[in-house]
Amino acid sequence: MDENILSYLKFDEKGLICAVVQDMEGKVLMVGYMNREAIEKTLKTGKMHYWSRSRKKLWLKGETSGNYQFVNEIYIDCDGDAILFKVNQKGGACHKGYYSCFFRKYKDGKIEIVEKKIFDPEKVYKNGSEI
Amino acid sequence: MDENILSYLKFDEKGLICAVVQDMEGKVLMVGYMNREAIEKTLKTGKMHYWSRSRKKLWLKGETSGNYQFVNEIYIDCDGDAILFKVNQKGGACHKGYYSCFFRKYKDGKIEIVEKKIFDPEKVYKNGSEI
For residue A129, what pLDDT is reported? 57
- On whether the CB atoms of residues B8 and B38 are closer than 8 A, the answer is no
Inform me whether the pLDDT recorded for B68 exceeds 80.
Answer: yes
For residue A2, what pLDDT is reported? 52
Hey, of A79, A86, A108, which one would you mutate to test binding to chain B, going by the most B CBs within 10 A of its CB?
A79
Across the range B7-22, mean pLDDT stands at 96
Regarding beta strands A57-60 and A69-76, do their DSSP bridges make them parallel or antiparallel, or are they unpaired?
A: unpaired
- On whether the CB atoms of residues B79 and B86 are closer than 8 A, the answer is no
Task: Tell me if A77 and B106 make a contact (CB, 8 A cut-off).
Answer: no
- On whether the CB atoms of residues B101 and A77 are closer than 8 A, the answer is yes
Nearest CA to B16 among B42, B2, B35, B1?
Answer: B35
Q: What is the ipTM of this complex?
A: 0.94
Q: pLDDT above 90 covers what percent of chain B?
A: 86
Q: How far apart are CA B112 and CA A65, in angstroms?
A: 34
In the structure, what pLDDT confidence band is assigned to residue B80 with cuts at 50, 70 and 90? very high
In the structure, what pLDDT confidence band is assigned to residue A67 with cuts at 50, 70 and 90? very high
Q: How far apart are CA B128 and CA B81, in angstroms?
A: 31
For residue A69, what pLDDT is reported? 98
What's CA A50's distance to the chain center, in Å? 7
Task: Tell me if B82 and A31 make a contact (CB, 8 A cut-off).
Answer: yes
Is residue A18 less than 8 Å (CB to CB) from chain B? Answer: yes
Residues 6+ apart with CB under 8 A from A22: A28, A29, A84, A85, A86, A87, B22, B26, B28
Across the range B17-44, mean pLDDT stands at 97
A78-130 pLDDT, tens digit per residue, is 999 999 999 999 999 999 999 999 999 999 889 999 999 999 999 888 755 55
DSSP state letter for A90: P
For residue A113, what pLDDT is reported? 97
Task: Tell me if A84 and B28 make a contact (CB, 8 A cut-off).
Answer: yes
Taking the CA atoms of chain B, what radius of gyration do you get in angstroms? Answer: 15
Inform me whether the pLDDT recorded for B126 exceeds 80.
Answer: no
